[in-house]
Amino acid sequence: MKKKLLIASIIASLMIVSMGIGAFAATKLTLIVNGKTSNAETKIIGGVTYLPLRAVAELLGATVDYDPNSKTVRVTGQSSGSQGGSTAVQPNNKSQTIKGVTITLDRAEQDDDSLRLYVTYTNNSDDQAMTGDSLSKIVANGKQYEYDFDTNWDRYYNKDVDKAPDFIEPGVTAKSVIFFPPVPNVNNINVVLNADFEDYRFNNVKVDVLK
């Protein structure tokens, strides 16, 4: 498995569930990453073992940078090949960039017909980028909703809405409207969008309910 996938998993959770260890365990834990032992302090709170992100990332050959202006934590590391990879964590921002490709979640709204995500893709990389409408999903009220081809196909051709090309060239900006079935009692949702098979996560997105 590539190191960047390990890093992404660490960022997504920032914790590992400790099996068989109580909240008041006094035993010192040894952290080993890819065969390397770390002296980083670990903490057990409520049966969950918390690991310092920087210590684990550096053991994986990555660097960790924090931008206080954008409130972004960026982890950059080498994969098993010659190219590096990075993951940006901006769970509440409306715009995120990974490897030169930016996704902006312009707004989310719902009426009796559908819940809609208005998305903008911007390719500032040097290569062609794949947009990922069909890999999008939302989470609302504890339930996950996946992209449905029939739902979107019908509305792309019956409504005057934007649909980004499957691939966009460097320097191109394209918009899409992504449809989901209406969600009962919706207020805020978590959204997962995609470009080049990278997940862009937007949490606590306010949904405008149209009357």
Where residue 116 sits, what CATH number does that domain have?
Answer: 2.60.40.1240
- Given a contact cutoff of 8 angstroms between Cβ atoms, the answer to whether 56 and 40 are in contact is yes
Q: Side chain identity at 201, as an amino acid letter? A: R
Q: At residue 118, does pLDDT exceed 90?
A: yes
For the stretch 161-169, contacts whose Cβ atoms lie closer than 8 Å and that sit 24 or more positions apart, written own/partner, are 162/118, 163/133, 164/119, 164/121, 164/131, 164/133, 165/131, 166/130, 166/131, 167/128, 167/129, 167/130, 167/131, 168/121, 168/123, 168/128, 168/129, 168/131, 169/123, 169/128
Q: Is beta strand 198-209 parallel, antiparallel or unpaired with respect to 101-110?
A: parallel
Number of domains in the chain: 2
Asked which of 89, 115, 146 is the last residue of a domain, the reply is: 89
Centre a 10 Å sphere on the Cβ of residue 81 and count the other Cβ atoms it contains. Answer: 9
State whether 105 and 135 are in the same domain. Answer: yes
State whether 53 and 112 are in the same domain. Answer: no
Chain segment 146-185, per-residue pLDDT in tens: 999 999 998 887 778 999 999 999 999 999 999 999 999 9
State whether 94 and 71 are in the same domain. Answer: no
State whether 123 and 205 are in the same domain. Answer: yes
User: Mean pLDDT of all residues in the chain?
Assistant: 80
For 184, the enclosing helix (H) or strand (E) is none
Centre a 10 Å sphere on the Cβ of residue 24 and count the other Cβ atoms it contains. Answer: 7
Asked which of 38, 57, 89 is the last residue of a domain, the reply is: 89
State whether 29 and 3 are in the same domain. Answer: yes
Average pLDDT over residues 68-72: 68
How far, rounded to the nearest angstrom, does the alpha carbon of residue 130 sit from its chain's CA centroid? Answer: 16
State whether 201 and 135 are in the same domain. Answer: yes
Q: At residue 34, does pLDDT exceed 50?
A: yes
pLDDT of residue 19: 43
Asked which of 89, 123, 142 is the last residue of a domain, the reply is: 89
- Given a contact cutoff of 8 angstroms between Cβ atoms, the answer to whether 96 and 86 are in contact is no
State whether 170 and 106 are in the same domain. Answer: yes
State whether 169 and 105 are in the same domain. Answer: yes
pLDDT of residue 76: 78
- Given a contact cutoff of 8 angstroms between Cβ atoms, the answer to whether 72 and 86 are in contact is no
Q: Is 153 left (phi over 0), alpha (psi -120 to 50) or beta?
A: alpha
State whether 81 and 178 are in the same domain. Answer: no
- Given a contact cutoff of 8 angstroms between Cβ atoms, the answer to whether 163 and 150 are in contact is no
The residue range of the domain holding 45 is 1-89
State whether 130 and 119 are in the same domain. Answer: yes
State whether 185 and 117 are in the same domain. Answer: yes
State whether 98 and 187 are in the same domain. Answer: yes
